[in-house]
């Protein structure tokens, strides 16, 4: 893998991840850009004991431009985009409209009550462009190219984890207009948080309690139980298993686990990365075949934070979709949105069987 770093016109970092035979990439960005906003802040909700990120400058971010104005395509024919080079394999750059920034100043905090703490939203937000092909998708990448994306995730996980103030690194992909994607080009994002996210804190708290009670890892035992049953397993390889969880909350939900407990993507071996690519492309193909159309989804990597509870973490990928049938979406209404109590309209076993059958 070739790794090339440069700076965009407003000072943001851009990193090219290329195959070894790729030509040199263009480091110079000729655009004139305004400074990136540093007004993001975090405020603490004392009732839920959760941090909320406020980034009002994101209201004016780019929203669903036509393909010939896509900012994630290469710069060609005199049109300058976020990627100065006329071509690329995989590229990562700092978000132009970041929720988190290492230069965050915090902005105004008028009349906050005494119980509400606040601070600058220190961290980093990055965009990961999977390919220069605007019409592609992760599911259509060749295995060697998908492996390059995995290596980029690993690189960014290691580097962002070392930044001062960063506690947790979260790579993810939002796919499809139904999910709220604002740019159609195949891409994902990475957030480097200054706090442990609520979902991770809850999972690791449960895992710590399970370890005290049973002396074993909670995630490893969940994986072992699903593999032993096989009822909800969608696909498996020598080193990874994809399954629908028994208490799935979403109409389509698939978890992908390595068979070896590791804290994050950076800790995966080369063989495990290759094996993941094989399984993930297989699973993505099944998901798109489920309703014979591209499935909208969120693909979220659960990685270990730095600090207490890291020893209980177990890297895994969670894929969730709101598509409950070919022409219907699942909306979070009263019970889900207000109470966090999910109600599903399909049995996990039925979803797993349908996805499993699509591979035959």
CA dist list (Å): 13 to 28, 92, 335: 12, 8, 42
CA distances from 289 to 142, 151, 284, 359 (A): 18, 27, 9, 9
CATH architecture of 199-357: 2-Layer Sandwich (3.30)
Catalytically annotated residues: 187
Average pLDDT, the chain: 95
* Encoded tokens for 249: 């909350």
Domain(s) of CATH 3.30.428.10: residues in the chain:
2-194, 199-357
Q: What is the CATH number of domain 2-194?
A: 3.30.428.10
Structure tokens that stand for 190 in this block: 């990475």
Which portions of the chain are predicted below pLDDT 70?
360
* pLDDT score recorded for residue 61: 75
Q: Are 207 and 218 in contact (CB under 8 A)?
A: yes
Residue ranges of alpha helices (H) inside 46-192 are: 143-161
Please give the pLDDT value at position 360: 60
Q: Rounded to an integer, what distance in angstroms lies between the CA atom of residue 74 and that of residue 264? A: 30
The Cα–Cα gap between 207 and 202 comes to 9
Q: Give residue 64's pLDDT.
A: 82
Distance CA 150, CA 271 (A): 12
pTM above 0.75, yes or no: yes
Q: 140: left (phi > 0), else alpha (psi -120 to 50), else beta?
A: alpha
According to the model, what pLDDT value does residue 307 have?
A: 87
Q: Which residues contact 159 (CB under 8 A, 6 or more apart)?
A: none
């Amino acid at each position: 893998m070739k790794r090339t770093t440069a700076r965009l016109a407003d000072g943001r970092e851009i990193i090219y991840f290329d195959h070894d035979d790729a030509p040199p990439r263009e480091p110079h960005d000729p655009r004139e850009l305004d400074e990136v906003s540093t007004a993001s802040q975090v405020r603490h909700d004392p009732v839920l004991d959760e941090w909320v990120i406020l980034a009002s400058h994101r209201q004016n971010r780019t929203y669903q431009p036509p393909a010939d104005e896509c900012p994630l395509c290469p710069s060609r024919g005199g049109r300058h985009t976020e990627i100065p080079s006329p071509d690329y394999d995989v590229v990562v750059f700092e978000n132009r409209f970041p929720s988190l920034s290492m230069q965050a100043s915090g902005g105004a905090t008028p009349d906050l009550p005494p119980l509400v703490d606040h601070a600058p939203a220190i961290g980093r937000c990055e965009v990961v462009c999977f390919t220069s092909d605007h019409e592609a998708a992760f599911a259509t990448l060749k295995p060697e190219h998908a492996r390059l994306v995995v290596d980029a995730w690993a690189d960014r996980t290691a580097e962002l984890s070392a930044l001062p103030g960063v506690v947790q690194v979260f790579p993810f992909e939002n796919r499809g207009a139904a999910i709220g994607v604002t740019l159609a080009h195949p891409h994902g994002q990475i957030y480097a948080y200054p706090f442990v996210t609520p979902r991770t804190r809850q999972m690791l708290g449960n895992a710590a309690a399970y370890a005290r009670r049973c002396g074993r890892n909670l995630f490893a035992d969940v994986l072992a139980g699903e593999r032993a049953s096989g009822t909800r397993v969608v696909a498996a390889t020598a080193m990874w298993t994809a399954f629908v969880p028994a208490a799935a909350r979403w109409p389509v939900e698939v978890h992908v686990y390595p068979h070896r407990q590791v804290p994050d993507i950076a800790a995966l071996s080369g063989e495990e990365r290759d094996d993941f690519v094989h399984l993930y492309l297989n699973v993505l193909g099944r998901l798109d075949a489920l309703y014979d159309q591209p499935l909208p989804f969120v693909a979220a990597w659960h990685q270990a934070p730095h600090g207490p509870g890291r020893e209980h973490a177990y890297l895994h990928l969670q894929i969730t979709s709101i598509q409950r049938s070919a022409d219907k979406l699942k909306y979070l209404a009263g019970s889900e949105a207000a109470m966090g109590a999910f109600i599903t309209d399909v049995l996990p076993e039925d979803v797993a069987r349908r996805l499993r059958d699509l591979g035959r």
